[in-house]
Chains A and B, each alone.
Chain A
Amino acid sequence: MAGLIVRRFFQLILLLIGISFLVFTSMYIAPGDPAAIIAGPTATKSDIDAIREDLGLNDPFLVQYVRYISGVLHGDLGYSYQTKQPVWEAIMTRFPNTLNLAIASIMVAVIIGVVAGIISAIRQNSWLDVSSTVFALAGISIPNFWLGTVLILIFAVNLQILPVGGLDHPFYTVEGMKQLILPAITLGTGSAAMIARMSRSSMLEVIRADFIRTARAKGLKERTVIWVHALRNAMIPVITVIGLNFGFLLGGTIITEQVFAINGVGRLMVQAIAARDFPMVQGSVLLVATLFVLVNLIVDIIYVFIDPRISYD
Chain B
Amino acid sequence: MKKKHFFSMLVFLFMISAVLAGCGGKSASNSGGSSSQGKGNAAQELTYATTSDVVGLSPILTNDSVSAAVINQIYETLFVRDPKTMEIVPHLAESYETPDDKTWVIKLKKGIKFHDGTDFNAEAVKYTFDKLRDPKTAAPRASLLEPVESVEVKDDYTVVIKTKYPYGPMLAALCHTNAAIVSPTADQKQDLMKQPVGTGPFKFVEWVPGDHITLEKNEQYWQGAPKLNKVTIKVVPEVTTAISMLQTGDVQFIDNVPAEQLSRLQSMKNVDLIKKEGTPVYYLGFNMKKAPMNELAFRQAVSYAINKEEYVKQLKGLGIQSNSVIGPKVFGYNEASENVAYSYDPEKAKQLIKENGYKGVKVKMLVANTANYMKMAEVVQAQLKEAGINAEIESMEWGTFLDAVKQGKYDLTFLGWANSTADGSELLYPNFHSDNVGTSNRIFYSNPAFDKLVEESRTNIDPEVRKQKLKEANEFLLKDAAVVVMNHGVVTAAVDKSVKGLEIDPTGQWSLYHVYRE
B208 touches A263 (CB 8 A): yes
B28 touches A45 (CB 8 A): no
B52 touches A166 (CB 8 A): no
Question: Chain A residues with Cβ under 8 A from B439's Cβ?
Answer: 43-45, 48
Given known pairs A115-B7, A261-B236, A276-B399, the reply for A83 and B56 (CB within 8 Å) is yes
* B139 on interface, CB distance cutoff 8 Å: yes
* A82 on interface, CB distance cutoff 8 Å: yes
B63 touches A42 (CB 8 A): yes
CA separation between A40 and B417, bound complex, in Å?
11
* B403 on interface, CB distance cutoff 8 Å: yes
* A26 on interface, CB distance cutoff 8 Å: no
Question: Chain B residues with Cβ under 8 A from A119's Cβ?
Answer: 3-4, 7
A168 touches B440 (CB 8 A): no
B209 touches A90 (CB 8 A): yes
**A134-183 contacts to B (CB < 8 Å):** 135, 149-154, 156-158, 160, 163-166, 168
B51-73 vs A, Cβ < 8 Å mask (1 yes, 0 no): 01101100001011000000000
Question: Chain B residues with Cβ under 8 A from A77's Cβ?
Answer: none
A32 touches B209 (CB 8 A): no
One of A54, A84, A135, A158 near B14 (C-beta < 8 A): A135
A261 touches B238 (CB 8 A): yes
Given known pairs A115-B7, A261-B237, the reply for A154 and B21 (CB within 8 Å) is yes
Given known pairs A168-B211, A268-B210, the reply for A154 and B20 (CB within 8 Å) is yes
B374-400 vs A, Cβ < 8 Å mask (1 yes, 0 no): 000000000000000000000001111
* B140 on interface, CB distance cutoff 8 Å: yes
A66-85 vs B, Cβ < 8 Å mask (1 yes, 0 no): 00000000000000001111
* B94 on interface, CB distance cutoff 8 Å: no
B138 touches A158 (CB 8 A): no
Distance in Å: Cβ of B431 to nearest Cβ of chain A? 10
Distance in Å: Cβ of A214 to nearest Cβ of chain B? 24
CA separation between A39 and B247, bound complex, in Å?
35
A164 touches B400 (CB 8 A): no
Given known pairs A50-B138, A93-B208, A160-B248, the reply for A165 and B236 (CB within 8 Å) is yes
* A289 on interface, CB distance cutoff 8 Å: no
CA separation between A33 and B235, bound complex, in Å?
25
CA separation between A132 and B14, bound complex, in Å?
11
A153 touches B3 (CB 8 A): no
**A249-263 contacts to B (CB < 8 Å):** 258-261, 263
Distance in Å: Cβ of A184 to nearest Cβ of chain B? 15
B56 touches A157 (CB 8 A): no
Given known pairs A83-B56, A128-B4, A154-B21, the reply for A263 and B210 (CB within 8 Å) is yes
Of the listed residues A54, A82, A83, the one surrounded by the most CB atoms of chain B closer than 10 A to its CB is A83
CA separation between A216 and B438, bound complex, in Å?
80
Q: Which residue of A lies closest to B251 (CB)?
A: A164
CA separation between A43 and B420, bound complex, in Å?
13
User: How many residues on chain B are close to A (CB under 8 Å)?
Assistant: 70
A94 touches B236 (CB 8 A): no
Given known pairs A33-B403, A44-B430, A261-B235, the reply for A39 and B193 (CB within 8 Å) is no
Given known pairs A94-B210, A115-B7, the reply for A37 and B244 (CB within 8 Å) is no
One of A45, A83, A94 near B438 (C-beta < 8 A): A45
Question: Chain B residues with Cβ under 8 A from A37's Cβ?
Answer: 398-399, 402
A93-131 vs B, Cβ < 8 Å mask (1 yes, 0 no): 110000000000000000010011001000000001001
User: How many residues on chain A are close to B (CB under 8 Å)?
Assistant: 62
* A11 on interface, CB distance cutoff 8 Å: no
Q: Which residue of A lies closest to B20 (CB)?
A: A154
One of A40, A160, A258 near B63 (C-beta < 8 A): A40
Question: Chain B residues with Cβ under 8 A from A135's Cβ?
Answer: 11, 14
B240 touches A149 (CB 8 A): yes
One of B53, B56, B242, B245 near A84 (C-beta < 8 A): B56
Distance in Å: Cβ of B45 to nearest Cβ of chain A? 15
* A204 on interface, CB distance cutoff 8 Å: no
Distance in Å: Cβ of B473 to nearest Cβ of chain A? 18
Distance in Å: Cβ of A246 to nearest Cβ of chain B? 22
B229-254 vs A, Cβ < 8 Å mask (1 yes, 0 no): 00000111110111011011010000
* B436 on interface, CB distance cutoff 8 Å: yes
A47 touches B238 (CB 8 A): no
Q: Which residue of B lies closest to A39 (CB)?
A: B140
CA separation between A274 and B406, bound complex, in Å?
17
* B85 on interface, CB distance cutoff 8 Å: no
* A231 on interface, CB distance cutoff 8 Å: no
* B35 on interface, CB distance cutoff 8 Å: yes
Question: Chain B residues with Cβ under 8 A from A128's Cβ?
Answer: 4, 7-8, 11
CA separation between A166 and B232, bound complex, in Å?
13
Q: Which residue of B lies closest to A53 (CB)?
A: B138
CA separation between A166 and B21, bound complex, in Å?
22
* A25 on interface, CB distance cutoff 8 Å: no
Q: Which residue of A lies closest to B407 (CB)?
A: A31
Given known pairs A45-B439, A261-B241, the reply for A36 and B14 (CB within 8 Å) is no
A39 touches B63 (CB 8 A): yes
B193 touches A158 (CB 8 A): no
Distance in Å: Cβ of A5 to nearest Cβ of chain B? 34
**B24-82 contacts to A (CB < 8 Å):** 24-25, 27-28, 31, 35, 52-53, 55-56, 61, 63-64
* B17 on interface, CB distance cutoff 8 Å: yes
A263 touches B211 (CB 8 A): yes
A43 touches B440 (CB 8 A): yes
Question: Chain B residues with Cβ under 8 A from A153's Cβ?
Answer: 21, 24-25, 28, 244
Q: Which residue of B lies closest to A34 (CB)?
A: B399
CA separation between A260 and B143, bound complex, in Å?
39
Distance in Å: Cβ of A82 to nearest Cβ of chain B? 5
Distance in Å: Cβ of B415 to nearest Cβ of chain A? 9
Distance in Å: Cβ of A272 to nearest Cβ of chain B? 11
Q: Which residue of B lies closest to A257 (CB)?
A: B237
Given known pairs A42-B63, A165-B236, the reply for A116 and B140 (CB within 8 Å) is no
Given known pairs A32-B402, A54-B138, the reply for A158 and B10 (CB within 8 Å) is no
Distance in Å: Cβ of A122 to nearest Cβ of chain B? 9
B140 touches A40 (CB 8 A): yes
Q: Which residue of B lies closest to A82 (CB)?
A: B55
* B99 on interface, CB distance cutoff 8 Å: no
Question: Chain B residues with Cβ under 8 A from A32's Cβ?
Answer: 399-400, 402-403
One of B53, B191, B244, B402 near A164 (C-beta < 8 A): B244
Question: Chain A residues with Cβ under 8 A from B55's Cβ?
Answer: 38, 82-83
Given known pairs A39-B63, A160-B35, the reply for A93 and B210 (CB within 8 Å) is yes
CA separation between A271 and B212, bound complex, in Å?
16
7 A-B contacts (beta carbon < 8 Å): A31-B400, A41-B416, A84-B191, A164-B250, A261-B241, A267-B237, A274-B397
Q: Can you add 7 more A-B contacts, CB < 8 Å, to A42-B141, A156-B244, A168-B211?
A: A39-B140, A83-B56, A135-B14, A151-B17, A158-B20, A164-B244, A263-B209
Please list the residues of chain B having a beta carbon within 8 angstroms of any beta carbon in chain A.
3-4, 6-8, 10-11, 14, 17, 20-21, 24-25, 27-28, 31, 35, 52-53, 55-56, 61, 63-64, 135, 138-143, 146, 191, 193-194, 208-212, 234-238, 240-242, 244-245, 247-248, 250, 397-400, 402-404, 406, 416-418, 420, 430, 436, 438-440
What 5 A-B pairs have minimum CB-CB distances, sorted nearest first? Answer: A32-B399, A40-B63, A54-B138, A31-B403, A263-B210
